[in-house]
Amino acid sequence: MGAYILRRLLLMIPTLVGIMLISFVVIQFAPGGPVEQVIAQLTGQAGGADSRIGGGSSMDAGQSMDTSGVTSRYRGAQGLDPQFIEQLEKQFGFDKPAHERFLLMIWHYIRFDFGESYFRDISVVNLILEKMPVSVSLGLWITLISYAISIPLGIRKAVKDGSAFDVWTSGVIIIAYAIPGFLFAVLLMVLFAGGSFLDWFPLRGLTSDNWAQLSWPERILDYFWHLALPLTALVLSAFATTTLLTKNSFLEEIRKQYVVTARAKGLSEQQVLYRHVFRNAMLIIIAGFPGAFISAFFTGSLLIESIFSLDGLGLLGFRSVIDRDYPVVFATLYIFSLMGLLVSLLSDITYTLIDPRIDFERRDV
């Protein structure tokens, strides 16, 4: 197992470099870079995808050019001092060739030095740590609640396979999975957050304004009070896949010969189910927990964060892309990719801890 872990760790290096290289190359052709964003703010124009002149990009800055050609590279820069534009390019690091900037970025990222945000007076690390509590709260509780619902429900559906209970619960699961989380979030806001009906839950934030004055029990209640609607919107479809996976896993194990043998020995259905079937059937479910958490942590919260005004990593990443805040964009991509690779390795290790019969040493990486 040690050799397998080492191979996987070494494989992460080219994988990370490849992810960052592809993203970096794509960014070279993205219009409306940070230089254009500053120029648009100074000239009162709207920054965005249309702020670049065809064929030129702020990410290509640093190539030799005459002074009069500097302003012509950026829409709306006419009338601005060319030396000021050059200072902007140097400030954002675009005075160097693209390959030098990429190698320098990788060198800094290896040491977890992510620099500072272009448009916020704060380091990227501190900015990510500032937004982390919201995303961790959403990701952790979504995963725990969905597993708490999915596993018992999936086992029950496997035991009652083909019954009326199995049929109608499958219908509910399919409908819940089909409803977009953000649409259900809007419905919850209208019904319970001061819309057209009830005003039971807060509309924004993770805590109340008087959080510091509350006692610890009151803080806990206030925390879950704010999370109630966002978690409900996210959990609605989160448990569907795990439920069906649990059911199918149990059904597969129930039909095996060792279950028939256990029943022939006179064991009750409960003993057969939880003493023999449970461990084998739950292998894939439990081992997938780290991946499920990462998936909920990274991918499920952008629209929910926007709707409920929860300032988390999803909203941070979206705003950074819109603002062309490249240090934040690349740093979050690097961190998320690294965590995803590590969680994938952790899932494999979890398999071996749950079932020692699994040996990754005997298979290719």
**Residues 104-144 pLDDT 10s:** 999 999 988 888 888 787 888 888 888 888 888 888 888 88
Residue 60: predicted pLDDT: 39
Taking 50 as the pLDDT cut, the residues of the chain under it are: 47-68, 365
Residue 77: predicted pLDDT: 57
Question: Which part of the chain is CATH 1.10.3720.10?
Answer: 128-362
What are the backbone angles phi and psi of residue 63, rounded to the nearest 5°? Answer: -75, 150
Q: pTM of the prediction?
A: 0.70
Give CA–CA dist 195/210, Å, rounded: 23
Fold annotation for 128-362: MetI-like fold (1.10.3720)
What are the backbone angles phi and psi of residue 159, rounded to the nearest 5°? Answer: -65, -35
CB 206 within 8 A of CB 227: yes
Residue 17: predicted pLDDT: 92
**Residues 308-345 pLDDT 10s:** 878 788 788 888 888 888 888 899 889 888 888 888 78
- Buried b / exposed e over 228-266, threshold 16 CB at 10 Å, is bbbbbbbbbbbbbbbbbbbbbbbbebbeeeebeebeeee
Residue 359: predicted pLDDT: 63
Residue 52: predicted pLDDT: 37
Helix (H) or strand (E) segment spanning residue 14: helix 2-28
Residue 107: predicted pLDDT: 92
Instruction: Mention every residue, 6+ apart, whose C-beta is less than 8 A from residue 5.
Output: 345, 349
